[in-house]
Amino acid sequence: MVKTSVSNSIAIVTGASSGIGKATALRLAKDHAGVVLVARRQHELEDVARQVRAAGAQALVVAVDLAQPDAAEAVVAAALQAHGRIDAVVHVAGAVPGLDVFAMTDAQWDAGMALKFHGARRLTLRAWDALRASSGAVVFVSGNAADAPKASMAAIGAINAGIEALAKAFAERGIADGIQVNSVSPGSVMTGRRLGMIERQAEASGIALDDAKAAVLRQAGIRRFGEADEIAGLIAFVVSPGARWMTGTVLRIDGGEIRSV
């Protein structure tokens, strides 16, 4: 029988202060993995760390801005100093502004790329030797806007598509180095950020929040919003020993929103 547990492993999770990142950290803790929690907001990370420890797992807080070139080195150094190993890296950080392709400035494009794309790229590079030593795993969290880009959310689609291509490039090198690399592409997940977006849409349209939520679901053609815990469950499986032959793959989890083959 193939072992499917991440017990006793050490995972770096970025964007761990909220949403899918937080849910992933807590799920890995529930599965008895130690978690290195990475995000910009120290106080929110400390709260997540308390929850990780309450689940019986180790937690290390590293509050950095991954858009900064030296942040990745700081994260890896802290993880290795505390634990001596890195078994998984899960890239969730990187909220990209949902702006029209004609409205975004160069600075906004650069900011989105700096955090989500280059932040993940640099952290993967810095962690590579440690991941090779542990035969570890990397997961890039993208999003289904990569498969269905829209003019109204140009950067989200473009950067997520870039993330998936980057993951495949790392996956090819990972075959030789014994490192598994995949992407997980969520659809419409009800995080605090998405709720805020819908609240603003409701206010701008002068409609009730529930009506705005229903409109989003109709447009997406799905029955309900996803939950962060559902995405976390898939990520936990992808980095587990039971999924080790899967690499270079984009795993879509979106309630059936993307219907193309």
Compute the distance between CA of residue 104 and CA of residue 117 in angstroms, rounded to an integer.
17
Q: What is the 8-class DSSP label of residue 66?
A: T
Residues 169-225: tens digit of each pLDDT: 999 999 999 999 999 999 999 998 889 889 988 998 999 999 999 999 999 999 999
pTM of the model: 0.93
Structure tokens at 237: 């499986």
Q: Please state the three-class secondary structure of 17-49 as a single string.
A: CCHHHHHHHHHHHHCCCEEEEEECCHHHHHHHH
- CATH architecture of the domain covering 10-189+227-250: 3-Layer(aba) Sandwich (3.40)
Residues 12-28: tens digit of each pLDDT: 999 999 999 999 999 99
Please give the distance of CA 119 from its chain centroid, rounded to a whole number: 12
Sequence ranges of the domains in the chain: 10-189+227-250, 190-225
Compute the distance between CA of residue 104 and CA of residue 88 in angstroms, rounded to an integer.
34
Compute the mean pLDDT over every residue in the chain, rounded to the nearest whole number: 93
Structure tokens at 3: 């072992």
Compute the distance between CA of residue 240 and CA of residue 45 in angstroms, rounded to an integer.
24
Give the bridge partners for 252, in sequence order. Answer: 185
Nearest to 98 by CA among 154, 20, 164: 154
